[in-house]
């Protein structure tokens, strides 16, 4: 399985707390006849798998978009989520979440050969105080008793043969003291699989922090004129947005709103990988490659 990524993840230790999960899915799940699309044959199983629903919404063009938020507490963990089915009549998405095997993590956060294209950037985050940061602003750059943490979040769309045809990765490297974030570095990467005709139409990113949290967030739009046969069958993939936050207490939150539209978009399925090492040295390494 070919994947795009920004960070080298070297090991997987323990599973941190997950916050904000949608309602659980129990047993075999099927949608109305003719509207349920399943993506069950993922290349490897997840450890301690958990299935749940995410209720999406109907886009103006008739496609389904959805948002999902996950929080990992301080410690170390790598968590993977994958789309295993969608009811196209209601935009109800069935997701599976669990711990990926170590070899899959290394593959997910490495750049493969084979003609894939990448664009990346990063740097020190800009301090942008929030309404509650009047006291926190004074802590910026102060050498208090601080901890150093990293978190990385990658989301992607795959084709029927499990190639990541496009992806977005965001990462935050931050210092915190239990009351405030004191400094932050952010990085991002866009990937698209050129050999099958994908290209990046547009993108933008945000790299800021305040006393409460860091924010590294990316928007991306990808397109393909070859994926679906026939004229005027362009396929689109949108990430609006892909976001990771590092918080003042050492936890991290990630959020994604994503959808595909256009010709043959129903053959694409989505997934994500979320890593935290908080503080650095506690286990799973979400380091820059």
pLDDT digits (tens, 9 = 90+) for 225-246: 999 998 889 999 999 999 999 9
Return the number of other C-beta atoms located less than 10 Å from residue 31's C-beta. Answer: 17
d(CA 159, CA 166): 10
Helix spans in the chain (H):
102-108
pLDDT-derived band at 35, boundaries 50, 70, 90:
confident
How does DSSP classify residue 260?
E
Report percent pLDDT > 70 for the chain.
79
Residue 283 within a domain: yes
Evaluate whether 239 touches 215 at the Cβ level (below 8 Å).
no
Give domain status of residue 1, yes or no. Answer: no
CA distance 184 to 116: 30
List of E strands, 137-283: 147-158, 164-176, 181-192, 198-209, 214-224, 235-246, 252-262, 269-278
The residue ranking higher by pLDDT, 107 or 48, is: 48
Residue 101 Cα to chain centre, angstroms: 18
272, 54 in Cβ contact below 8 A? no
**Tens of pLDDT along 87-140?**
999 999 999 999 999 887 776 666 655 678 999 999 999 999 976 664 444 444
Rounded CA gap, 287 and 280, in Å?
9
**Residue 170: how many CA atoms within 13 Å on its side-chain side?**
28
Residue 213 counted as domain residue: yes
Q: How many helices and strands in the chain, by DSSP H and E?
A: 1, 19
Instruction: Classify residue 165: in a domain, yes or no.
Output: yes
Peptide bond preceding 241: is omega within 30 degrees of 0, i.e. cis?
A: yes
Q: Identify whether 111 is part of a domain.
A: yes
Range of the domain at 121: 7-288
Summary mean pLDDT of the chain: 83
Are the CB atoms for 211 and 36 separated by under 8 Å?
Answer: no
Q: Across residues 264-286, what is the average pLDDT? A: 88
For the chain, the domain total comes to 1
Q: Give yes or no for a contact between 133 and 212, defined as CB atoms under 8 angstroms apart.
A: yes
Residue 2 included in any domain: no
CA 280/CA 262 separation, integer angstroms:
42
Which two tokens mark 289?
A: 């490659």
Reduced to 3 states (helix: H, G, I; strand: E, B; else coil), residue 107 is: helix
Q: How far apart are CA 161 and CA 273, in angstroms?
A: 19
Within a domain: residue 119? yes
Let me know: does 256 contact 167? Beta carbons within 8 Å.
no
Q: Per the domain annotation, does 161 fall within a domain?
A: yes
The residue among 198, 121, 132, 193 whose CA lies nearest residue 163 is: 193
The predicted structure's pLDDT at residue 287 = 56
């Amino acid at each position: 399985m070919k994947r795009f990524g920004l960070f080298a993840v070297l090991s997987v230790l323990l599973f941190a707390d997950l916050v904000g999960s949608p309602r659980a899915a129990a047993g075999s799940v099927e949608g109305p006849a003719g509207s349920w699309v399943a993506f069950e044959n993922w290349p490897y199983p997840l450890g301690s798998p958990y299935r749940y629903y995410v209720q999406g919404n109907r886009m103006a063009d008739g496609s389904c978009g959805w948002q999902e938020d996950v929080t990992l507490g301080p410690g170390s963990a790598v968590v993977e989520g994958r789309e295993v089915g969608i009811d196209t009549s209601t935009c109800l998405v069935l997701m599976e979440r669990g711990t990926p095997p170590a070899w899959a993590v290394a593959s997910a956060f490495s750049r493969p050969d084979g003609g894939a294209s990448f664009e990346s950037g990063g740097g020190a985050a800009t301090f942008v105080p929030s309404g509650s940061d009047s006291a926190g602003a004074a802590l910026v750059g102060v050498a208090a008793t601080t901890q150093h943490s990293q978190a990385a979040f990658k989301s992607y769309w795959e084709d029927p043969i499990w190639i990541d045809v496009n992806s977005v990765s965001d990462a935050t490297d931050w210092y915190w003291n239990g009351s405030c974030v004191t400094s932050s570095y952010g990085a991002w990467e866009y990937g698209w699989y050129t050999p099958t005709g994908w290209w990046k139409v547009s993108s933008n990113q945000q790299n800021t922090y305040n006393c409460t949290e860091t924010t590294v967030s990316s928007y991306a739009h990808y397109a393909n004129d070859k994926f679906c046969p026939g004229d005027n069958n362009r396929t689109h993939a949108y990430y609006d947005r892909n976001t990771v936050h590092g918080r003042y207490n050492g936890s991290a939150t990630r959020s994604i709103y994503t959808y595909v539209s256009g010709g043959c978009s129903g053959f694409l399925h989505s997934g994500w990988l979320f890593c935290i090492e908080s503080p650095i040295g506690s286990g799973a390494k979400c380091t820059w490659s």
